[in-house]
Amino acid sequence: MILQTQGLTKTYASGVGCVDISLEIQEGRIFGLLGPNGAGKSTFVKMVLGLLRPDAGSGMLLGRPIGDPESRRKLGYLPELFRFQDWLTGEEVLRYHAGLSGMKLSEVRSSHMASRIRDVLRMTGLNNRGADRVRHYSKGMQQRLGLASALLLDPAFIILDEPSSALDPIGRYEVRQLLEQLRSAGKTVFLNTHLLEDVEAVCDDVAFLHLGRLRAIGSMRELLHVGMSWEITVGGWQTELAPGISGSLLPGMAVEAVRQEPDGSALLRVSAHNREQIGHLNRLLMEVGVTLYEVTPVQDSLEQWFLSMSGADSREGGARS
């Protein structure tokens, strides 16, 4: 287990930050923490990193208690709102961060580190700007330098807090490509974002945080009902057939007529665990004389899911992010 938290809670005088957050992140997965602004996502991340002291709860990060500096030995972190020393060059910032990780001055100045710095600058699209002072970087370039810093020491676990927020569309695409590369390299990534296209494109697992509380957690397939919902277009449908069919369904199945026309055609929404159950329904429909025209698997969009999750609590007050 890369990260495991139990009941992590942080409250602010101005409002709730995070309440009772328990989650686990498996090795080699890309985990997306979703939620609207002010949901408490950054508060949670900062508690995990030891930047904030939890009011309650505990957790283990890379085999050590959260807050223990050694738990961050194999961790890379890109904060959301951050700055580097603008009087340093990009390369000097990276050397400074290598030094903060316990390297001696000779190691920091070694040719091996110089080579690694060149690599991460190239990976993040800053290959010709390492010798420039950070004060001459654009916001997007500083974001790229933050990414380079997070990747510098080849971490096993990378926490990215809104990594695409200051980037243009090309930059966002490149970040997604980078995330794919990290997954291929067996890295575990924690992606804290409200950019749904990023999550949809790369995440294996997601959690939804709203008003400081964890509202849902699971794999993308589970939460978006991938392969669990179908729409079936039929002919010869009569309302009185519904109870009989519902009574003959296999466990875990459900059928609902979402649209019915006077000519007998109808659109049925079916929940099922697998295709075999859809085959069973097909047989039931044929037995009562209903004609089956079309079967379409249905997948909720992440946006729909996000809005439905947010909407449930939209009238409640905000929490601090």
Partner 1 sequence: MTWIVFAGKELYRKKIALIALLLTVLYLVLFNYVLSKMTVRPEGLLQIPFQSLIAGVSAITLGLMFAGMIVAFVVFFATMGAISGESENGLMLAVLSRPIPRWKLYLGKYFGMAFWLFLYSSVMFAAILVSVHLAAELPLLWGSVVKAWLLFVWGPMLLLAISLLGSAYLPMLANGVACASLYGLSLFCGFAEGLSNMHGGNDTLSSFTMVVSLFMPSNALFSRMTYEIIEGLDLPLLGDLLNQLGPFTPLNAPNLTYIAYTFVLLAALLALGCRAFGRKDMT
Residues at the contact surface with partner 1, assessed by CB under 8 A? 12, 46, 49-53, 69-73, 75, 77-79, 81-85, 87-88, 92, 96-97, 99-102, 104-105, 108, 146, 149
CB of 49 vs partner 1, minimal distance in Å = 5
What span, in angstroms and rounded, lies between the C-alpha atoms of 9 and 129?
Answer: 41
What span, in angstroms and rounded, lies between the C-alpha atoms of 97 and 79?
Answer: 14
Nearer to partner 1, 100 or 258 (CB): 100
Nearer to partner 1, 84 or 305 (CB): 84
Nearer to partner 1, 36 or 146 (CB): 146
Nearer to partner 1, 39 or 49 (CB): 49
CB of 44 vs partner 1, minimal distance in Å = 13
CB of 79 vs partner 1, minimal distance in Å = 4
CB of 226 vs partner 1, minimal distance in Å = 34
Nearer to partner 1, 109 or 259 (CB): 109
Nearer to partner 1, 28 or 50 (CB): 50
CB of 296 vs partner 1, minimal distance in Å = 46
CB of 162 vs partner 1, minimal distance in Å = 12
